[in-house]
Structure 1
Amino acid sequence: MSLHLNGSPLSRRSLASAACSLSAALVIACGAAPEAPPETHEGVSSAALTELVVNGTFSGTTTAPWWSGPNTSSRVDAGRWRVDVAGGTVNPWDAPIGQDGIVLANGQAYTLSFTASATAPVTVRATVQLGSAPYTAPLDQQISLDGTPRRFTFPFTSSLSTGAGQVTFQVGGRGAFTLHLDDISLTTGSSTGSGPLGMTSGFYVDPNSNPATWVRNNSWDSRAARIQSAIASRPGARWFGNWSGDIASAVSGFVAAADAADKLPVLVAYNIPGRDCGSHSGGGAGSPEAYRTWISNFVTGLGTRPAIVIIEPDAVAQLDCLPNDTERQTRLGLLRYATEQLRARAPNTWAYLDGGNATWIAADTMAQRLESAGARNIRGFALNVSNFHTTAASASYASAVNTALNNRYGYTLPFVVDTSRNGNGSNGEWCNPGGRRLGTPSQVGGGAELLLWVKVPGDSDGQCGIAPNTPAGTFSPDLAIRLIDGT
């Protein structure tokens, strides 16, 4: 694993054009063909979506056909659904609200989104489920609310076919409070218009990446123009770890700069204790408690701004290097905590838990580890980070992981692939191998939900391979040129 040392309220810009955006490749991967031929624009495809709920905007005077169950009463209040929840209940389902008659198809991708707030800090349950016993729920999410209206977006794939589905919000067991809901939408497909992709006009190019900094400082070098054109001008991730200083400030500054440019930033959280098994990129937080504080502050820095986050490259795959089961369970617990923080406090972030690469961990084992690490709390999983396997090989492995997830736990997840250096595939080596090439630049679709340059091309993997004297995370113009040329 290679160390990388470069270290506002929801915008409504571009909503008119983004509202019907959809990655055609994602829809196909989830088992449904696009409803119309997609028109590709800046890496985002668009197609018509089907809205399944009625009266999700509460623009009239009635809440119908939404119903209020026991221990709730509701009305339209200032263009929102106001639900007064009684106290004295024990379980979330003791005070339900919802809408019936939702048609679901097995294998179809859907996106539930809504804006919500509450008069007291509470955690409530949002589901899309069968409307009668056994109440099978393809989507079942816990959300944390307070007085600030926040937008929540949950993509999922249905595991059942029924005309008797329902959308519910189960709000019991939390005492008396008032819930406000608005802009409730359940659409077929995974709409980029309702997620961070639809909130921005493309991926963010980091002006302070290692390649960009090297180009600025070495404009006289004959290699600078080629590195600028092929690498420094391309969107890529910024890695954050124990070198980043005040992590909340560092993250906030990065996502704020991207937000100001109307672009989508990609961040990597890389600070798990015992990182990289003490190898080239060893380090990380000094204790579990320190990591919880660090990742909580990382999420604070994100806020409600749009972002993509890759969680702890190699941490799941490298469980085997930890000396005992206690330490393995501790790491899984820390990763679960990270996913829970992102789910609860970063509503416009799509987060992906790292799942190794196509030849590292058996798919069934990886599925078990992803489940234990809390992958169902977030958007999905990431593959091939800092590695070289082809996108096709990664997609095949992702399919096997999702098959295992579905067989064991009843769900599947979207995935992303690091394509920064996979243009020539893998030769079996991982640490600065020769003969590798830049892969497809960051885009929506193309064999995965997203193709991303997660590893910074030209940054060394460590003192190894064709860069035996270049420490991990240090930019090498020679490595960069060899990736450009495939030599």
Structure 2
Amino acid sequence: MQPSNSAGSPFRRFTAPAALMLAAALTTACGPSEPPAPAEAEALGSRTDALTELVSNGTFNGGTVSPWWSGPNTQSRVENARLRVDVGGGTANPWDALIGQDDIPLVNGRAYTLSFTASASVSTTVRVTVQLESAPYTAPLDRQITLDGTSRRFTFPFTSTLATQAGQVTFQMGGRATGFSAFIDDISLTTEDGGGGGGPLSMTNGFYIDPNSNPANWVRANSGDSRAARIQSSVANNLAARWFAAWSGDITTAVSSFVSAADAADKLPVLVAYNIPGRDCGSHSGGGAGSPEAYRTWISSFAAAIGNRPAVVIIEPDAVAQLDCLANDAERQTRISLIRYATEQFRDRAPNTWAYLDAGNALWINADTMAQRLENMGVRNVRGFALNVSNFYTTAQSASYAGSVNSSLSSRYGYTKPFVVDTSRNGNGSNGEWCNPAGRKIGTTNQVGVGGAEMTLWIKVPGDSDGQCGVAPNTPAGTFVPDVALRMIDGL
């Protein structure tokens, strides 16, 4: 399943359990799907109040400390799924021994709530702040608490007096003659951001359309071509998803730049992580990270580069469905552990991201088998699952399959999950072929709450070749072909 080797487009924060009920159109980026829709989607509709989480890795369930940092006279580690902070003695001021997290956005006049659970090995006083991360360290929240051996929940509502992207949360534990250990867990900093349920949908004003998608780049380079205007209006103006892999270069820079552009435009970015070792079973879109260790570093950096900003991420198209193509059980177990690790990274490092684990398509894997794989690979850690990425099945077929998967998840494991559908090339449905088949058509554009899906998204790029096959027999996967794009527009 070959993506576009191009960049993506901006989209901001959308928080939406309730907002999803308001099916407002949203334009997306790269991907296979259905008939064309308006280029610039409307806002998601009237917003309802939603809690937006601003702290990353507040639960420490993944066993890592980052992005929390330790200052002088403190050492931190995760112990029993909570943060243990060993504090040195002989300090004069509270800030002489502290931990914190930076890059917290604050809006002047907005209400926030900081909450956490904490205890300590001795009775001691701790200063807790939400403040500027540099001088003059202005602190809209500055409280002193007493900790002892009993674990307690602390909750502090406050109104910000700052407008900054450079806020920080600190726990200042210095000023004691002797050392001690503090234990902190379930740290949360939330704000009502006018959305519907704490996710990215209500935090933004529509989907970010990738200005550097393959079709957009082709149009810029061929403005005099008679095909350019139609490709611009029907394809380039609707593409949101950007695919990230080895071709993206430094993944931190690539992801951060894309998400920053979306954030600046107040739009919601859609990203695809596509770098699993042994990708596509060595077929047209083969490749991926060179080792499990390299992949863990790559995907962790991917999630951290998003941070607290709103985003939608599709995790590793085909990787779950293609488990069977791996050579032996050891390789399959490695794949399972890597995908689960990816879900944990987005859970812990990108709290305002809705991540969806790819679950193949409607006629690929038995629904019970897919449900078992999703459970084993960590779908509980993320928002839900994605269907039909780079394929052609109708939204109705995908929704029916999603219902079967959720029925199995419910009966076996006691939960269900939302799903999204790639509609970039499913306007005419599938003819049973997957590699550049003739007669396919673009589908409904990026929208919320269509056909039972949480979102319909253009994930694959209409016009990008699937490989050297079908109506593009000599074109490598990921290469944009304007005549194929026109076929997708016209359904030929």
Give the TM-score normalised by the residue count of structure 2: 0.69
CA change 1:48–1:246 in 2 (3 A) is closer
1:111 equivalent in structure 2: none
| Offset from partner CA, 1:136-175 (integer Å, 9 cap, x none) | xxxxxxxxxx9648xxxxxxxxxxxxxxxxxxxxxxxx94
Alignment equivalent of 1:253, drawn from 250, 257, 273: 257
Secondary structure of 2:357's partner?
Answer: strand
**Mapped pair 1:383 → 2:387:** yes
**Mapped pair 1:420 → 2:420:** no
For 1:346 and 1:83, how far apart are their aligned partners in 2? 29
1:33 equivalent in structure 2: none
2:183 equivalent in structure 1: 176
| Offset from partner CA, 1:45-94 (integer Å, 9 cap, x none) | 4476799xxxxx9989xx9xx9999999999997689875545x8xxxxx
CA change 1:397–1:177 in 2 (3 A) is closer
2:470 equivalent in structure 1: 465
Q: Which amino acid aligns with 1:6?
A: S
Q: Which amino acid aligns with 2:291?
A: S
| Alpha-carbon distance, 1:176 to partner | 3.3
| Alpha-carbon distance, 1:326 to partner | 1.0
| Alpha-carbon distance, 1:348 to partner | 1.2
- The aligned runs of 1:185-224 (5 Å cut-off) are 192=196, 194-224=198-228
**Mapped pair 1:430 → 2:434:** yes
Q: Which amino acid aligns with 1:481?
A: L
1:228 equivalent in structure 2: 232
For the aligned residue pairs, the C-alpha RMSD in angstroms reads: 3.7
Q: Retained in 2: the 8 A contact 1:85–1:176?
A: no
| Alpha-carbon distance, 1:196 to partner | 1.2
- Number of aligned residues: 381
For 1:418 and 1:371, how far apart are their aligned partners in 2? 22
**Mapped pair 1:357 → 2:361:** yes
CA change 1:147–1:258 in 2 (3 A) is closer
- The aligned runs of 1:235-274 (5 Å cut-off) are 235-274=239-278
CA change 1:84–1:324 in 2 (3 A) is farther
1:5 equivalent in structure 2: 5
CA change 1:412–1:224 in 2 (3 A) is same
Q: Retained in 2: the 8 A contact 1:81–1:181?
A: no
Q: Which moved more, 1:195-204 or 1:451-460?
A: 195-204
| Alpha-carbon distance, 1:356 to partner | 0.4
| Alpha-carbon distance, 1:178 to partner | 8.6
For 2:213 and 2:434, how far apart are their aligned partners in 1? 22
CA change 1:205–1:74 in 2 (3 A) is same
Q: Retained in 1: the 8 A contact 2:50–2:196?
A: no
Higher RCO (C-alpha 8 Å, min separation 6): 2
For 2:388 and 2:343, how far apart are their aligned partners in 1? 20
CA change 1:360–1:208 in 2 (3 A) is same
1:455 equivalent in structure 2: 460
Q: Which amino acid aligns with 1:290?
A: A
Secondary structure of 1:446's partner?
Answer: coil
Q: Retained in 2: the 8 A contact 1:21–1:192?
A: yes
For 1:323 and 1:331, how far apart are their aligned partners in 2? 11
**Mapped pair 1:343 → 2:347:** yes
Secondary structure of 1:23's partner?
Answer: helix
Unaligned 5+ residue runs, structure 1?
27-40, 52-56, 90-94, 100-113, 116-145, 150-173
For 2:111 and 2:478, how far apart are their aligned partners in 1? 53
Q: Retained in 2: the 8 A contact 1:419–1:439?
A: yes
Q: Which amino acid aligns with 1:482?
A: R
For 1:192 and 1:74, how far apart are their aligned partners in 2? 35
Using the aligned pairs only, state the percent identity: 63
Q: Which amino acid aligns with 1:200?
A: T
Q: Retained in 1: the 8 A contact 2:43–2:205?
A: no
**Mapped pair 1:439 → 2:443:** yes
Unaligned 5+ residue runs, structure 2?
24-40, 52-108, 130-139, 159-166, 171-180
Secondary structure of 1:350's partner?
Answer: strand
